Structure 1
Amino acid sequence: MTPRADPLTVEVVGLIGTVVARYYEEYEQAATEHSLTGAQARVLSLLSVEPLPMRKIAQRLKCEPSNITGIVDRLESRGLVERRPDPADRRVKLAAPTEEGASLAQALRTSLDFAREPLGRLTAAERTLLKELLQKMLGVAPE
């Protein structure tokens, strides 16, 4: 039997949910301003970190590889993504952002104002603490 969550945990989970919902809402809006769907923007953002094969993109975004193929096809037709052979296994194709795609991914990241404004109300020490707490929650090693 799972123990009941205490009221503070319930409230924190609700606040995290609100932040996530606001993030996705603004992310979709930013994507639309660049004539992208939210899914296209997420793929482009993911690829701006590193080139990936379709199956890894699908795993990270928790969707079917066939969906990713269509998204990458549309990004490729716009000149934002290219397919290239994987140097480790030439049978595998990697999706990678073009220079224009990388610039657009950066523009998407910098256009998300909703988080920047509330975070700006926190001191540098508070933002650092928040970052460390989120990393701890996610099991991510601190940078």
Structure 2
Amino acid sequence: MSDTPESPGTPAPPGSPESPSPADLMDQLARVAAAYYRHFAAAATVHGLTLMQGKMLSLLRRPRPMRTLADLLGCDASNVTGIVDRLEARDLVRRETDPADRRIKNVVLTEDGERTVRAIRSGLMSDLTALERLDAGDRRAFGALLDRVFPDPATTG
């Protein structure tokens, strides 16, 4: 049996698994994403946060404008205002004027917010241990595949 990859259009040899179709991969991705967000929601709930509040905190590794947060969360800017208001009332974030453009308000994590994000991530990692079982090469390959399928808009185009 040859170690060379099959040419396009050539049926897979008997007994070998067929390559999943793009639709199969999309279904698998939807299942994985749903499982991840169930874990994420559970980790956020431990800290008295909704899924969207936890997601927002996790996006604040660096200060971000409200409009950017709305785009990243896929929601209306008015929803972001409400989420930020609730997080600010709990002293997890604060609004700061952007030094480059005083019309823009950036959302910044407070120390309590940073601790909460670390705790949520720790909770996720304790539930999703399979990533830790991957060796360094598999983690690089997995990360590269994710970047190819979902390029970071901040680093492309």
Compare CA radii of gyration and give the structure with the larger one. 2
Structure 1 residues 98 and 120 mapped into 2: Cα distance closer, same or farther (>3 Å)? closer
1:115 offset after TM fit, Å?
6.9
Q: Does 1:61 align with 2:84?
A: no
Higher RCO (Cα < 8 Å, 6 or more apart): 1
- Which one of the candidate residues 90, 99, 103 is aligned to 2:111? 99
Distance 1:76 1:137 in 2: 34
Distance 1:86 1:9 in 2: 42
The one-letter amino acid of 2:85's match is: D
Aligned residues: 135
Match of 1:36 in 2: 49
1:139 offset after TM fit, Å?
3.4
Deviations 1:41-66 (A, max 9, x none): 1111112x221221111111111111
Q: Does 1:109 align with 2:124?
A: no
* Higher normalized helix content (fraction of residues): 1
Q: Does 1:87 align with 2:91?
A: no
Distance 2:28 2:127 in 1: 13
TM-score by length of 1: 0.84
Structure 1 residues 121 and 133 mapped into 2: Cα distance closer, same or farther (>3 Å)? same
| % same residue | 42
The one-letter amino acid of 1:33's match is: V
1:122 offset after TM fit, Å?
3.0
Match of 2:26 in 1: 13
SS for the counterpart of 1:111 is helix
> RMSD between aligned alpha carbons?
2.0
**Is there any run of 5+ residues in structure 1 with no aligned partner, and where?**
1-5
**Is there any run of 5+ residues in structure 2 with no aligned partner, and where?**
1-18
